[in-house]
Chains A and B, each alone.
Chain A
Amino acid sequence: MADTERKVENGVNVAALLDAREALTDAADAAQFTWRASCTWKNGTHSHSTVEGYFGLGEEHKHKTTFTFDADHPAVFASEDLGAAPVEYVLVGLASCLTAGIAAIAQHREIQLRSVTATIEGGMNIQGILGIDSDVRNGFDGIKVSYEIDADASKDDIEALVAQSQKRSAVYDIVTNPTNVTVEVI
């Protein structure tokens, strides 16, 4: 990083992010986003979800394409296994959020990344969801994320990257802190 001539390129447009931070500082309304997905039951535990539009910067937006996700449960749950389990989507969400954060922060800190791989696992005692033991929670009893990162930076700098990424991650916050959930039948 002493070498100011070196061009760091992680594919993240940091200038645009910094501009956005500047522009949105005094525009709380524009900063208010709403993310959406819709989910349709197919059969058994199989469902089909789509992600298409979202709201932000004061208006509706559309993704370039409609993304689709099949969710199901594996055969040991007597299901058809036609998609990842919902809890696995949570792991995907957390790992991809942290990884995106690492890339963005590395770019901002002028650290060139060569490879970043996260392995994520969530432990769960299914006595909770099966209603066997009310002292066992339904959700994960813990989540472990392991990063293998090859970058032009010291170990300390890489660890600082990973730490900052957790600090700024939306999904990390969603998973580690409670959220009010309202479910209604229309």
Chain B
Amino acid sequence: MSACLSERAIDHVVLERGQVANSWRTERWDSLTLLTPNWQSRLPGYGYQGDDPDGYRTMPETIDFIDSYARVIAAPVRTETTVTSVRPANPGYVVVTDQGEWRCQTVVLASGACNIPRVPALAEAVPSHIATLTPDRYRNPDQLEDGGVLMVGASATGTQLADEIHRSGRPVTLSVGEHIRAPRVYRGKDIEWWMDAAGVHDERYDEIEDIKRARKVPSLQLAGTPGRTTLDLNALTDIGVKLIGRLAGINDGKAQFSGSLRNQCALSDLKMGRLLDTFDEWATDNGLDGEVEAPHRLPPTWVEDAPPLGMNMTDGAIRTIVWATGFRPDFSWLDVPVLDRKDQVRHDGGVVTESPGLYLMGMQFLRRRKSALIDGAGPDARDLGAHLASYLDGVAAPASR
């Protein structure tokens, strides 16, 4: 957004609570790589220039990428500046920070979709001798005690951590609810290539059938490994991870798991089949069948006949629970009445229509399916930057301190 505003000569500042790429520096585990290939991180006027376009960035590389971009576009970043309040000032807004106050005509909320781990309420019933951890505080398996781990959640984070922790010699039980299965490579091409090329990532928020639902779809079960391997539930079963249903409750030291595991896996297999069908149709329609490998399907997700429904939490078998149950944004500092009953900003494709001059970025499916990806920031910033510019044209003064 800063690049798009500079392009339009709109005076602005970028407030950062820590250093540029702060959450990548402070809230990610050591071995994490981006789930999107290098070529896919396209920012306005900037992109990948190395010799491994199909690889996946490590965290240091990701931090460096964002850091370099901030320098290339000369983004006016104020680091170590924490926003404590944003409130309407009529006209414009007052932004209070620990480094002083700002008055401005417009505010872009780009503080991210993943600020606070979404830990289920039943976490309160976990016996006190079991350590609990959220992914933003996880760094590597050495942090955990020896012994069994219950990984709650089987989307991208849960599956990657289950893999790493199980391989460290700590037996993992993976509690599986709704999840989206996807092969890393399909017909010889990265799944992200297909999503991009077939236009799936560019589907717009105002053209999709059920946007509320689309915004809640869990992350694809992907990992960015050098071998471009698929990390689905079958791959985890192969290394000995035990699959169990969705965690339903903890009573008297006993965890209860839903009997819906089979259906959750069947739903995911069917959904993946439909996605691959879409790619196959697109490949045929575009005459690509001769250029990419032949279509294929993955074997169904294997589920044992009668998955366990209960687990003793007091016998010492489970030493750690990791809540890979997602994140939510933190708008506790936003003193503008635009939050719904779930404390999320009401918006129309990132335009906070109830409070003119206020914009939102980086949320799941904000304007297009890829809005929450690095690759989605550019197109969203161009759209919202244009809206913001025409809004400023309609009001008087530019930003001033």
Distance (Å) between the CB of B302 and the closest chain A CB? 14
Flag whether A180 is at the interface (Cβ < 8 A). yes
A179–B216 Cα distance when bound, in Å, is: 27
Known: A131-B213, A134-B216. A180 touches B248 (CB 8 A): no
Flag whether B278 is at the interface (Cβ < 8 A). no
Flag whether B245 is at the interface (Cβ < 8 A). yes
Known: A131-B213, A134-B216. A178 touches B248 (CB 8 A): yes
Having A178-B309, A180-B261, A183-B263, one finds 15 other A-B pairs with CB under 8 Å, namely A134-B216, A135-B342, A177-B309, A177-B310, A178-B259, A178-B310, A179-B259, A179-B309, A180-B245, A180-B259, A180-B262, A180-B307, A180-B309, A181-B259, A181-B263
* Contact (Cβ within 8 A) A177 B256: yes
Chain A residues 120 to 159 lying within 8 A of chain B, measured CB to CB, are: 131, 133-135
Chain B residues 254 to 280 lying within 8 A of chain A, measured CB to CB, are: 256-263
Flag whether B306 is at the interface (Cβ < 8 A). yes
Distance (Å) between the CB of B54 and the closest chain A CB? 35
List the interface of chain A (C-beta within 8 A of B): 131, 133-135, 177-183
A180–B259 Cα distance when bound, in Å, is: 4
A182–B259 Cα distance when bound, in Å, is: 9
Chain B residues 204 to 239 lying within 8 A of chain A, measured CB to CB, are: 213, 216
- Residue-wise, chain B 307-344 has the 8 Å CB interface mask toward A (1 for contact) of 10110000000000000000000000000000000100
Distance (Å) between the CB of B263 and the closest chain A CB? 7
Cβ of B216: which chain A residues have Cβ within 8 Å of it?
134
User: Which residue on A lies nearest to B341, using beta carbons?
Assistant: A133
Set A131, A177, A180: member contacting B306, Cβ < 8 A: A180
- Residue-wise, chain B 98-140 has the 8 Å CB interface mask toward A (1 for contact) of 0000000000000000000000000000000000000000000
Known: A131-B213, A134-B216. A178 touches B263 (CB 8 A): no
Cβ of A179: which chain B residues have Cβ within 8 Å of it?
259, 309
Interface residues on B, range: 10 to 19
Cβ of A178: which chain B residues have Cβ within 8 Å of it?
245, 248, 256-259, 309-310
A181–B307 Cα distance when bound, in Å, is: 10
A to B CB contacts below 8 Å, 21 in the list: A133-B342, A135-B342, A177-B256, A177-B309, A177-B310, A178-B245, A178-B257, A178-B258, A178-B309, A179-B259, A179-B309, A180-B245, A180-B259, A180-B261, A180-B262, A180-B306, A180-B309, A181-B259, A181-B262, A181-B263, A183-B263
User: Which residue on B lies nearest to A183, using beta carbons?
Assistant: B263
Cβ of B261: which chain A residues have Cβ within 8 Å of it?
180
Distance (Å) between the CB of B377 and the closest chain A CB? 26
Distance (Å) between the CB of A182 and the closest chain B CB? 6
List the interface of chain B (C-beta within 8 A of A): 213, 216, 245, 248, 256-263, 306-307, 309-310, 342
Cβ of A183: which chain B residues have Cβ within 8 Å of it?
263
User: Which residue on A lies nearest to B246, using beta carbons?
Assistant: A178
Distance (Å) between the CB of A127 and the closest chain B CB? 11
Cβ of B259: which chain A residues have Cβ within 8 Å of it?
178-181
A133–B261 Cα distance when bound, in Å, is: 21
3 closest cross-chain pairs (CB), A and B: A180-B259, A178-B309, A179-B259
Cβ of A182: which chain B residues have Cβ within 8 Å of it?
262
A180–B306 Cα distance when bound, in Å, is: 7
* Contact (Cβ within 8 A) B260 A181: yes
Cβ of B248: which chain A residues have Cβ within 8 Å of it?
178
A135–B216 Cα distance when bound, in Å, is: 11
Cβ of B256: which chain A residues have Cβ within 8 Å of it?
177-178
A45–B359 Cα distance when bound, in Å, is: 44
Distance (Å) between the CB of A132 and the closest chain B CB? 8
Cβ of B260: which chain A residues have Cβ within 8 Å of it?
181
Cβ of B310: which chain A residues have Cβ within 8 Å of it?
177-178
A177–B259 Cα distance when bound, in Å, is: 9
A131–B260 Cα distance when bound, in Å, is: 18
User: Which residue on A lies nearest to B118, using beta carbons?
Assistant: A135
Cβ of A135: which chain B residues have Cβ within 8 Å of it?
342
User: Which residue on A lies nearest to B121, using beta carbons?
Assistant: A135
A183–B267 Cα distance when bound, in Å, is: 12
With a 10 A CB-CB cut-off, give which of B257, B260, B307 has the most chain A CB atoms.
Answer: B260
A181–B260 Cα distance when bound, in Å, is: 6
Distance (Å) between the CB of B265 and the closest chain A CB? 12
Distance (Å) between the CB of B349 and the closest chain A CB? 21
A131–B310 Cα distance when bound, in Å, is: 28
A177–B310 Cα distance when bound, in Å, is: 9
Distance (Å) between the CB of A142 and the closest chain B CB? 13
User: Which residue on B lies nearest to A182, using beta carbons?
Assistant: B262
Distance (Å) between the CB of A38 and the closest chain B CB? 21
Cβ of A131: which chain B residues have Cβ within 8 Å of it?
213
A181–B305 Cα distance when bound, in Å, is: 10
A146–B262 Cα distance when bound, in Å, is: 36
Distance (Å) between the CB of A131 and the closest chain B CB? 7
Distance (Å) between the CB of B232 and the closest chain A CB? 21
Distance (Å) between the CB of B221 and the closest chain A CB? 19
A183–B213 Cα distance when bound, in Å, is: 24
